Amino acid sequence: MATVRRLREVPRHLLVCEKSSFGHEKSRHRHLVETHHYNYRVSVLVPECGLLPQALRAQLARAGPYFSVRALPLWELLAPGFIGTFVRGGSCYALSFNTSIDEDNAAALLPSGKLILSLDKDTYEEMGLQGRPARHAGKNTVKFIVAVDLLDLFLNPASKKSQRVRWSFQEKKPLKFDFLLAWDPAGAEDSAMMSYFSSYQIREHQPRVVLSTVAELEYPVLQSGEPRGQLGGSCSAPDFLEWLGAVFSGAEMKNEPDSFVSTYCCPQPSTVAARASVCTLTGLLLPAQVSALLEQLRLYFEEPKLAPWVALSVQGFADSPVSWGEDEHGFGGSGDHLYSFVIFSNQDYWLQMAVGARDECPP
């Protein structure tokens, strides 16, 4: 009975699927991409393609840059110079790294100017700021969420609220984090961030691009018609997402009888592509970069292609305090928060959004 009880307590996962068309006036694809702020890996699969088109490869090369800053005091994000230049002057993203969301303090700056702090109980009480208990804290750790509006601090520096926040960050509990930062500037140079944080240990990074070709790839036969529990034929939504993840991770899927490690095989019905192109982009990737890549994949079908569909999958940072928008993210068993598009030649698409046990339901 004890074994049965443990199995029943396995954390749930949420998978939300929907179908639409890029041309539909109520299509949510832009909103879903724009509000998934912290993207760690973007993967693309194009069946029946030996080499990605030049326009798509050029778009991949334009991703980045992003920056890492070591031991950055949190109060630096409250400085009028930082807010005026980066928060008001474009879309600024900052995410603490080398932190575990279920145990450690963590921080995330959203492009809206909201600074989200995920704090342990002791730190929260020491800071003395208004917050709320985390909805999805770990089993042995009590966490609290504090949200600070940097634009309000910038516009109302003399208010009691602003003064209390500054006192808390600078004197009461001066926290430091290793941060990943990225900036989508409005007509300014990316190098401004290097100059601004030059007194700290800052480095510029470019996303890592890996291109590969898979020979004789067995892939599911999908139809763009409305799915009702099925994505097409007998391929279910969870089965397809699992298969896509296996392709992007380079898993062996030949299901040979002498394989004792894995007997996974492609969902049925299926067909075989002579060649398929796979691309993986890794780093701190902005929603605007994902949107541009999605647009290029839509344009792929402007001319007739052998590929019946293409897929794009986006994986978020496991230890981000948020998933979509300001929705709270917890680690649970995996820290998953990801989404995938399957794009058809007629501009229909399927959207799949998945989160782990300690997350809000995807929007």
Angle at 101 between CA 3 and CA 237, to 5 degrees: 60
- What's the whole-model pTM score? 0.89
Q: What CA–CA distance (Å, rounded) separates 217 from 43? A: 16
The pLDDT of residue 37 = 96
CA distance 206 to 182: 11
Residue 182: name the closest of 99, 107, 87 by CA: 87
Query: What would the pLDDT profile of 281-317 be if each residue is shown by its tens digit?
Result: 999 999 999 999 999 999 999 888 999 999 999 999 9
Per-residue pLDDT for 125 more than 60?
yes
pLDDT at 220 over 50: yes
Rounded distance, CA 38 to CA 208, Å?
16
Q: What is the mean pLDDT of the chain?
A: 87
Strand order in the sheet with 39-47: 14-21, 348-355, 337-344, 309-316, 39-47, 270-285, 208-220
pLDDT the model gives residue 229: 44
Query: Does residue 232 surpass a pLDDT of 60?
Result: no
How does residue 22 score in pLDDT terms, banded at 50, 70 and 90? very high
Angle, CA 143 vertex, CA 356 and CA 112 arms, to 5°: 75
Q: Are 316 and 323 in contact (CB under 8 A)?
A: yes
